[in-house]
Chains A and B, each alone.
Chain A
Amino acid sequence: MLQFIASSHFNLSGLILCPLLGSIILFVIPDSRIQLIRSIGLCTSLITFLYSLFFWIEFDNSTAKFQFVESIQWLPYSNINFYIGIDGISLFFVVLTTFLIPICILVGWSSIKSYKKEYMIAFLICESLMIAVSCMLDLLLFYVFFESVLIPMFIIIGIWGSRQRKIQAAYQFFLYTLLGSVFMLLAILFIFFQTGTTDLRVLLTTEFSERRQILLWIAFFASFSVKVPMVPVHIWLPEAHVEAPTAGSVILAGIPLKLGTYGFLRFSIPMFPEATFFFIPFICTLSVIAIIYTSLTTVRQIDLKKMIAYSSVAHMNFVTIGMFSLNIQGIEGSILLMLSHGLVSSALFLCVGALYERHKTRLVKYYGGLVSTMPIFCTIFLFFTLANMSLPGSSSFVGEFLILVGAFQRNSLVATLAALGMILGAAYSLWLYNRVVFGNFKPNFLTKFSDLNRREVLIFLPLIVGVIWMGVYPEVFLECMHTSVSNLVQHGKFD
């Protein structure tokens, strides 16, 4: 019965339209009816989440083809269509997006004081754009949605950010990302001009000359490396994360950060296999530098959010190492680490958000001894701190382990250096936890003693479940992506 419903009535464009529809309904509801606005927002996002689960249930593990494919003509005289579909690689990005949005909406339930309606609308629009990015199989339209996430994110950071520096952060986020991605636009137009289409099906079978591949790869890299973020262009990330509101950080760490790595996986690697091979040392060097450098930077941060932001940079560079080891373990590990990072780092941002909401500061030195006033919070925080340093049993461990296994097969030096990151990760995570939770309570600074309320615990619950599930039984996730990933590896003849 369930399967019948899923197969007959559910299609991807419906999933994209669902949050959009919700936001349009919200538009016409007056500002004053805040309770209604909240519940509609939450309901829409929950329905979208359930909707996306159907795709997971209905997903056929045995094929590497794109599933739930739809194609709608967009431009006449050129083969640009709304061509959407998902495969094992993009399936979980869709699910992760829909999973995180209800959390974001719940986070802003009572803490958002201004522009409440716009808050809901921004997040719902953001959601539908991000789902569209993950299932778009047309290069140009992928770019369109990839970029268009900028507008809601810019507004989210700028309006609901906490301090005056937010404007600079929003600008940095906007301009860095835009500057990177316009080069991708040039590359896409160039490809379009060369082949006459931007359809991924065709492009995957097109052979570009090696010289051209290298140029195109660099242009794509310019865009994706900003989003990942690779080392010279990672500066926007700590700024944007620190100034964003809690839900903004959650979404930023959850999805847009993954778009870069997703782009590598979806476009750079299969379309330009020779160039990818050529650039492995380059990527590995950058990633190793990023892992060690940002991990060391994390140790000396005094701002809670900045620490987590820098640790995100380190983790995402782990992901790139795994991805560019170009074997099945590495790539699967990197996808798994992306998912896990989407859960863990979002949860850590939620933790910091909960602290900030109570004490209005994020500087480490004002905190201490929270264990005596906020025991529940400290337990949850411990759980996610351990997950962040990839304790065995948590989801990150599986990901990082697979990445290291993959990387060792490619290059043992890189793997060794990357493994250093794990040690440093433990160092800063424990240091942070120690400073915030243990030690003397500082009553001069901290005047509120309320622990997490029911709503907040409820927010953390699905994240905890996800982390443990993925850490204990990763097979559920791996089996969906296995065929697609091996197809990817074989397609590029990387073995």
Chain B
Amino acid sequence: MFDHDFLALFPEILLINATIILLIYGVVFSTSERYDYPPLACNVGWLGLPSISITISLVATGAPVANLFYNNLIIDDFTYFCQIFLLLSTASTILMCLDYFKQESLNAFEFIVLILPSICSMLFMISAYDLIAMYLAIELQSLCFYVIAAFKRDSEFSTEAGLKYFILGAFSSGILLFGCSMIYGFTGVTNFEELAKIFTGYEITLFGAQSSGIFMGILFIAVGFLFKITAVPFHMWAPDVYEGSPTLVTAFFSIAPKIAILANMLRVFIYSFYDPTWQQLFFFCSIASMILGALAAMAQNKVKRLLAYSSIGHVGYLPIGFSCGTIEGIQSLLIAISIYVSMTINVFVVVLALRKNRFKYVADLGALAKTNPILAITLSITTFSYAGIPPLAGFCSKFYLFFAALGCGAYSLAFTGIVTSVISCFYYIRFVKIMYFDTPETWIIYKPMDREKSLLLAITLFFIISFFLYPSPLFLVTHEMALSLCL
């Protein structure tokens, strides 16, 4: 039994070992007098990258459907694709911040060393099949993130961001844990499969005699999750943390955890608590996030804050697919998250590439069309895609989300989504306006970007533009994922 289980956990085992080895390597050599105390961030980064790519190949080659460790973990098609996707996006995040270390002369190899266990915990999150396993994985990931958010110790913003993130993250974890304990207390099981058996055909109403505890449990779990994905009533930490933390951390925060948490949410809510009760909660959060994301971003001048609100808005679109609970809904959610991630990678590559006297305000983009035309074209295409203008990838994701929403009768969601997507266009096209139409007084010349970033930029841009021409692979993959989750 154990050899089979550990065989299936090969990717995670590899990642943990890689973390330990890299940590030892970093600690020993960065304090070595013989080598004159070298800054090792880049080296560790370059070593972290192959360990992730080996993990990807390990995940990709071995994909048996299995339940591991007394049903604590599960591996199926859904986790398979989610994990690959997560690893790919993390690899690209690391790739895009390699140059950052050199430019900023940061001597913090622990960033990479912290990213690796957080990926590992996210892999566990995706494959978690038990409330306790899920909670533990989430905590490990969050702990790494708290440290990463504050890792620029000499910057007040970063420290503040780390503190805020820590307090709110710990609070939301507490809520999540309370929800889990309520569920456990009222049902006596923590395993998702057992829970699914209990919840089948179980009418949860607030005023039902025995089930109010279960209702509260689900509510608390949902709130905990919504905190983590920054959906609206629980979003208040996101803009500050996004703005305060160093840009590469922001990039990492806005890409990787979203995938893992959403995968986890899907597992919990679609598989085990399949019930219309929680849908209303997500309905509300979805509408609120879309509206707030669209309206609040309009007033922002700082790039990272704007991106934070835009990500809140996009997170609002995702629960559209979620709250339907149909196969199309899940599929649309998965499509949307993958397209969203590729667009976000693209934008953050641009933001990271523009770093001369700290690129902070949107207005600093002025005259980019003159000084760096290709970057300007890329950024405008990506923002158009964010805004959901056809024929770019962002449109395809929105179109399928709205289709799913109409398919399950959520007309108000589709309507709000469409109106807010028009409103959000207003600030997305502001990027284009600033780059192309305005003539600023001061021209900021940016350094050319390194090869890794330009490669990433090219790949994601190609994806965004040409996705429309051949969308079948992604549709098929997500369909398979949705099927394996539901059936």
In the bound complex, CA of A140 to CA of B400 (Å): 11
A147 in contact with B437 (CB, 8 Å): no
Distance to closest chain B CB from A147 (angstroms):
5
Given contacts A158-B436, A159-B437, A182-B421, contact A193 B403 (CB under 8 A): yes
Closest-CB distance, B381 to chain A (whole angstroms): 8
Interface stretch (choices A97-105, A168-176, A224-232, A341-349): A168-176
Q: Which of A166, A182, A192 contacts B418 (CB 8 A)?
A: A182
Contacts of B436 in A (CB 8 A): 155, 158-159
- Interface flags, B431-455, vs A, CB<8A=1, else 0: 0110011100000000000000000
The segment out of A71-79, A313-321, A373-381, A395-403 that lies at the interface is A71-79
Contact partners of A43 in chain B: CB under 8 A: none
Stretch at the interface among B163-171, B178-186, B470-478: B470-478
The answer to whether B406 touches A186, judged by C-beta atoms less than 8 angstroms apart, is yes
Q: Please give the distance in Å from A447's CB to the nearest CB on chain B.
A: 26
Cα distance, A76 to B471, chains bound together (Å): 9
Provided the pairs A155-B432, A185-B418 are in contact, do residues A144 and B403 lie with their beta carbons within 8 angstroms?
A: no
Is B81 interfacial (CB-CB < 8 Å)?
no
* B246 contacts chain A at the CB level, 8 A cutoff: no
Given A158-B433, A170-B437, A189-B406, CB of A75 within 8 Å of CB of B472: yes
Contact A74/B422 with A167-B437, A185-B399, A189-B402 known, Cβ cut-off 8 Å: no
Q: Please name all residues of chain B whose beta carbon is closer than 8 Å to the beta carbon of A74 when the two chains form the complex.
A: 471-472
A15 at the interface (CB under 8 A from B): no
Closest to B419 in A: A182
Asked if A293 is at the interface of the complex by the 8 Å CB criterion, the answer is: no
Q: How far is the CB of A222 from chain B (nearest CB, A)?
A: 11
How far is B437's CA from A147's CA once the two chains are assembled, in angstroms? 21
The residue from B369, B415, B422 contacting A179, defined by CB atoms under 8 A apart: B422
Is B429 in contact with A154, judged by CB distance below 8 angstroms?
yes
Residues from chain A with a CB closer than 8 A to the CB of B384 are 151
Question: B464 at the A/B interface (Cβ < 8 Å)?
Answer: no
Which residues does chain A contribute within 8 Å of B415, judged by CB atoms? 186
Q: Tell whether, in the assembled complex, residue A150 and residue B389 are in contact, meaning their CB atoms are under 8 Å apart.
A: yes
Question: How extensive is the interface on chain A, given as a class?
Answer: 35 or more
B479 touches A77 (CB 8 A): yes
Q: A185-B402, A189-B406 are in contact. Are A147 and B390 (CB under 8 A)?
A: yes
Does the CB pair A186–B422 fall under 8 Å?
Answer: no
Interface centre among A166, A171, A182 (most CB of B within 10 A): A182
Given contacts A75-B472, A154-B432, A170-B437, contact A192 B403 (CB under 8 A): yes
* Interface assignment of A183: CB less than 8 Å from any CB of chain B: yes
Q: How large is the interface on B (under 10, 10 to 19, 20 to 34, 35 or more residues)?
A: 20 to 34
Q: A159-B437, A185-B402 known; A148 and B389 CB under 8 Å?
A: yes
Answer whether residue B157 sits at the interface, using C-beta atoms and an 8 A cutoff. Answer: no
Kindly list chain A residues whose C-beta atoms are within 8 Å of the C-beta of B421.
Answer: 182
> Does A145 have its Cβ within 8 Å of any Cβ on chain B?
yes
CB-defined contacts of A171 to chain B, threshold 8 Å: 426, 429, 433
The CA-CA distance from A76 to B479 in the complex, in Å, is 10
CB of A106 within 8 Å of the partner chain = no
Could you tell me if B468 and A174 are in contact, using CB atoms closer than 8 angstroms?
no
What residues of A have a CB within 8 angstroms of the CB of B414 in the complex? 186, 189
Q: Which residue of A lies closest to B415 (CB)?
A: A186
A200 interfacial by beta-carbon distance below 8 Å: no
Residues of B within 8 A of A75 (CB): 471-472, 475
0 or 1 for each of A166-210: is its CB under 8 Å from B? (1 = yes):
110011001100110011011001101100000000000000000
Give residues of chain B (384-423) contacting chain A, Cβ–Cβ below 8 Å: 384, 389-391, 395, 399, 402-403, 406-407, 414-415, 418-419, 421-422
**Cross-interface CB contact of B432 among A118, A147, A158, A190, cutoff 8 Å:** A158
Q: Which of A167, A170, A193 contacts B406 (CB 8 A)?
A: A193
Which one of A166, A171, A186 has the highest number of Cβ atoms from chain B below 10 Å of its Cβ? A186
Max chain A Cβ within 10 angstroms of own Cβ: one of B422, B471, B475: B422
The yes or no answer to B425 lying at the interface (CB within 8 A) is yes
Residue of A nearest to B374 (CB): A27
A267 at the A/B interface (Cβ < 8 Å)?
no
Residue of A nearest to B429 (CB): A174
Cα–Cα, bound, A140→B406 (Å): 15
Q: How far is the CA of A312 from the CA of B426 in the complex (A)?
A: 27
Best-surrounded residue of B390, B414, B438, B476 (most CB of chain A within 10 A): B390
Distance A178 CA – B389 CA, assembled complex (angstroms): 9
Measured between alpha carbons, how far is A179 from B390 in the docked complex, in Å? 14
CB neighbours (8 Å) of B468 from chain A are 144
Chain B 228-254, CB-CB to A under 8 Å as 1, else 0, gives 000000000000000000000000000
Chain B residues in 8 Å Cβ range of A76 = 472, 475-476
Which residues of A are found within 8 Å of B419, using beta-carbon distances? 182
Q: How far is the CB of A175 from chain B (nearest CB, A)?
A: 7
Q: B402: which A residues are within 8 A, CB to CB?
A: 185-186, 189
Nearest-neighbour CB distance to chain A for B199, whole angstroms, equals 28
Q: Contacts A76-B476, A170-B437; is A182 near B391 (CB within 8 Å)?
A: no
List of A residues within 8 angstroms of B406 by Cβ:
186, 189-190, 193
8 Å CB contact of B391 from A145, A158, A192, A193: A145
Chain B residues whose CB sits within 8 angstroms of the CB of A178 once the complex forms: 389, 422, 425
Whether A158 contacts B437 in the complex (CB less than 8 A), given A179-B422, A192-B403, comes out as yes
Q: Please determine whether B433 and A144 come into contact, CB atoms closer than 8 angstroms.
A: no
Task: List the B side residues contacting A54 at CB < 8 Å.
Answer: none
- C-alpha gap A439/B155 in the complex (Å): 71
Query: Given known contacts A175-B422, A178-B422, is B403 in contact with A189 (CB within 8 Å)?
Result: yes
- Collect the chain B residues with CB atoms within 8 Å of residue A190's CB: 406
Question: 5 A–B contact pairs at CB < 8 A?
Answer: A77-B475, A144-B395, A148-B391, A182-B418, A189-B399
Q: Apart from A145-B391, A147-B395, what 7 extra A-B contacts exist at CB < 8 Å?
A: A143-B390, A148-B390, A150-B389, A151-B384, A158-B432, A185-B418, A193-B403
Residues of A within 8 A of B (CB): 73-77, 115, 118, 140, 143-145, 147-148, 150-151, 154-155, 158-159, 166-167, 170-171, 174-175, 178-179, 182-183, 185-186, 189-190, 192-193
Interface of B with A (CB < 8 Å)? 369, 373, 380, 384, 389-391, 395, 399, 402-403, 406-407, 414-415, 418-419, 421-422, 425-426, 429, 432-433, 436-438, 468, 471-472, 475-476, 479
Closest 10 CB pairs of A and B: A144-B390, A182-B418, A147-B390, A158-B437, A148-B391, A148-B390, A189-B403, A179-B422, A189-B406, A76-B472
